Structure 1
Amino acid sequence: MRTTLNNYLLPNLGSDNSSRLNLHQWIQSNRFSSVELVGNCWHLEAYSESELYATFTPDFQRFAFSSFETFSLAGLEVEKCSSTGWPLLKLYYSAFFAAHALTRATGNGHVNLNSKAVKAVNDYIAILGGDDVLSSGSYKVSIREKYSGVFLILEPSSEGSGVHDTFWRYFSAYLDAIATEAVDDALPSASSFVRETSALKSCINEKSNSGVWFSAIRNAINYRHEFDCWLPNDKKSKPRNLNFSSQLGDTDTMEASLNERQDELIRLINLSTYLASLNHQLILRVQGSVGGNADFSRKWRRLNAIMAPK
């Protein structure tokens, strides 16, 4: 999967030349030259193509690094405390952060626009005498290149129930879209990429009676304390005997693990490990691209040193 994804990474992702503005700050700073409402989507034309691309780096970095940290902590808690409840939730969050990192790395994302960003857009519209009003809330964001320039697209998002269910629905649609793009671009790896994204999407969603499976299993463990995950539990209970791998792997050899459907906890572990591993591969790809002296690489080395077993 990572080979195909490399074709869609933003230019200069993680580079020191990247703007220090994140996406919200870019909007708040009025770094757009026009605003147009097309259907239900807002099109913000960028003054600078490279500056817009660069605004995705700060969020990519924080999500990518937090995914690695969270995955590492899950393994440490199992090893040191024989705990299972919190490690399972940490595995889930490592995947949640990883999926956010992946979307940002390719110039996409699911964001909640704050009041300052909304005000900046509406003030711009008002100055020009427009009547349209951008509302606060959840948006699907993407970069679109047109003949006249490069635009940030904001599309209202109302699918799902709750932050996590909504995000995984968005991420599943994102996987479909990027797989279709790989086919349209006639990439040599397109057929395997379609198979891999389909397996990932199915593992996230299948066999749930209450929304997205991945979000539902998190709720079952976190809020209803199901699956006997929390201490003190019986030493012979299934969670106490789960095989928690603290090792990130190569996603090219992990696709079969996404087919697990019989045991929900193993499925959670496999899915989380897959996404966290994909995130790790993405970090290494960016590190190799920007060089060892880049701020991204220095922070990555510091994080590795902090999380290394003592």
Structure 2
Amino acid sequence: MKQIDLDLLRAIWHPLSYVEDENCAQSLKVWLSEGNFYLNNAAPNLSLFCLDTNELKKCLSLDAFRFSSHAAQTVYEMEKTSAYEKLTSWRVIQTYYAAFYAAHAALRFFGQSFSHLENGHINFLRGRCQSEAGYTPSLQSSYYLIEIEPNTRNVSFARHGESHKDLWKCFLALITNLEKEVLSLRASQERREDLSAHFLDLKVALTNRGQFSAGNWLSAVRNQVNYKSLEGVWFPFSKSTPSFESLLGKVRDWRSGAVNLGRPSLEKNELERFFTTALSVVDFGISLSLDYQSLVVRRGRRSSGFSRLVNSSVAA
């Protein structure tokens, strides 16, 4: 993303996940298990009162950098594949997962974690709620969008059922909110409208021009490749299958967050549209990671793995 756009976005994500201290050791799930919070009486739902918001922000940012590293590693491995000239089946799947991990990262930078809570977490939270708030929350082992509200210090839990479709549903909601929210930021009208248009186009692309209301079009393409042998990406390849090298040429600068993919939703070739949409998500996640890191005076364990991975991929 352009740095002027990242400068604007700081006003939104900074209060939700930024902590200067890089000494982060806990994931969000570990934080939940340790129980450094109070229980709000929000029957039948679960709501926590965070005793130390910086502690929770550390968890969110640590998890975000972990997912950004997953995305970066996947793109780097994509660059190293050379068996075929075309955008093949496995490259489509790699492209998808790079975007999937980047979407996870972006959500966390904006104070939201799409996480699977297992029975151990559920039983612990139920027990705390019964003993401290006097009711049994409606909880079961499943996926949850866990969200912090810094002003109230409350942490909410919204249950979801599917690991991929619902992840994209939550990511689409984030993009939709950003499309509107950036219009109220302090900047020139042109800058605000340009950034809003960027998120609008990404929203259109993620839904494949409105065909997938949950924003899970990328996941649908992956499923077609995996389970329905989507034509064109399996041998023999079709003439319309794009060159992988030409697609990679559009994102050579992904390590520095300097990718400009224009408007992915306008790509006529469906596979090219898939690639540019997915890499727009990757660029968003990587750019947020780099911008977050640029604000830290003394870098440490939280982002060191991400830095080492990106730097080593350049040298390789």
TM-score (norm 2): 0.83
Residues 303 and 14 of structure 1: CA distance in aligned 2, closer, same or farther (over 3 Å): farther
SS at match of 1:33: strand
Q: Aligned letter for 1:217?
A: V
Distance in 1 (CA, whole Å) between partners of 2:60 and 2:247 is: 32
Please say which of residues 125-134 and 85-94 is displaced more in the overlay: 125-134
Tell me which residue corresponds to 1:130: 134
Distance in 1 (CA, whole Å) between partners of 2:92 and 2:285 is: 18
Tell me which residue corresponds to 1:169: 169
Distance in 2 (CA, whole Å) between partners of 1:210 and 1:50 is: 35
Q: How far does residue 99 in structure 1 lie from its aligned partner after superposition?
A: 1.1
- Which of 142, 151, 157 does residue 154 from structure 1 map onto? 157
Alignment of 1:101-120 (within 5 A): 101-120=105-124
Gaps of 5+ in 2: none
Q: Aligned letter for 1:99?
A: A
Residues 240 and 181 of structure 1: CA distance in aligned 2, closer, same or farther (over 3 Å): closer
Q: Aligned letter for 1:34?
A: L
Say if 1:143 and 1:153, in contact at 8 Å, map to a contact too.
yes
Alignment of 1:270-309 (within 5 A): 270-291=276-297, 293-308=299-314
Distance in 1 (CA, whole Å) between partners of 2:42 and 2:111 is: 20
Q: How far does residue 200 in structure 1 lie from its aligned partner after superposition?
A: 0.5
Distance in 2 (CA, whole Å) between partners of 1:6 and 1:209 is: 30
Q: How far does residue 237 in structure 1 lie from its aligned partner after superposition?
A: 3.7
Tell me which residue corresponds to 2:56: 52
Q: How far does residue 123 in structure 1 lie from its aligned partner after superposition?
A: 1.0
Gaps of 5+ in 1: none
Distance in 2 (CA, whole Å) between partners of 1:209 and 1:8 is: 27
Determine if the alignment matches structure 1 residue 199 to structure 2 residue 201: yes
Distance in 1 (CA, whole Å) between partners of 2:19 and 2:132 is: 36
SS at match of 1:223: helix
Q: How far does residue 198 in structure 1 lie from its aligned partner after superposition?
A: 1.0
Say if 2:65 and 2:303, in contact at 8 Å, map to a contact too.
no
Residues 19 and 119 of structure 1: CA distance in aligned 2, closer, same or farther (over 3 Å): farther
Residues 299 and 92 of structure 1: CA distance in aligned 2, closer, same or farther (over 3 Å): same
Tell me which residue corresponds to 1:32: 37
Residues 92 and 118 of structure 1: CA distance in aligned 2, closer, same or farther (over 3 Å): same
Distance in 2 (CA, whole Å) between partners of 1:10 and 1:209 is: 31
Distance in 1 (CA, whole Å) between partners of 2:212 and 2:185 is: 36
Q: How far does residue 156 in structure 1 lie from its aligned partner after superposition?
A: 2.2
Say if 1:196 and 1:255, in contact at 8 Å, map to a contact too.
no
Residues 173 and 300 of structure 1: CA distance in aligned 2, closer, same or farther (over 3 Å): closer
Distance in 2 (CA, whole Å) between partners of 1:103 and 1:213 is: 18
Tell me which residue corresponds to 1:21: 26
Say if 2:207 and 2:217, in contact at 8 Å, map to a contact too.
yes
Determine if the alignment matches structure 1 residue 178 to structure 2 residue 178: yes
Q: Aligned letter for 1:294?
A: G
Q: How far does residue 101 in structure 1 lie from its aligned partner after superposition?
A: 0.6
Distance in 2 (CA, whole Å) between partners of 1:62 and 1:296 is: 8
Distance in 1 (CA, whole Å) between partners of 2:180 and 2:58 is: 25
Distance in 2 (CA, whole Å) between partners of 1:55 and 1:95 is: 21
Say if 1:94 and 1:272, in contact at 8 Å, map to a contact too.
yes
Determine if the alignment matches structure 1 residue 97 to structure 2 residue 88: no
SS at match of 1:239: coil
Say if 2:39 and 2:49, in contact at 8 Å, map to a contact too.
yes
Say if 1:248 and 1:276, in contact at 8 Å, map to a contact too.
no
Q: How far does residue 213 in structure 1 lie from its aligned partner after superposition?
A: 1.9
Q: Aligned letter for 1:131?
A: Y
Residues 45 and 280 of structure 1: CA distance in aligned 2, closer, same or farther (over 3 Å): same
Q: How far does residue 131 in structure 1 lie from its aligned partner after superposition?
A: 2.3
Residues 104 and 18 of structure 1: CA distance in aligned 2, closer, same or farther (over 3 Å): farther
Distance in 1 (CA, whole Å) between partners of 2:288 and 2:212 is: 33
Equivalent residues, number: 301
Say if 1:46 and 1:150, in contact at 8 Å, map to a contact too.
yes
Distance in 1 (CA, whole Å) between partners of 2:224 and 2:69 is: 27
Distance in 1 (CA, whole Å) between partners of 2:66 and 2:73 is: 10
Distance in 1 (CA, whole Å) between partners of 2:120 and 2:144 is: 15
Tell me which residue corresponds to 1:190: 192
Identity of aligned residues (%): 19
Residues 15 and 300 of structure 1: CA distance in aligned 2, closer, same or farther (over 3 Å): farther
Distance in 1 (CA, whole Å) between partners of 2:276 and 2:157 is: 33
TM-score (norm 1): 0.85
Distance in 1 (CA, whole Å) between partners of 2:315 and 2:294 is: 24
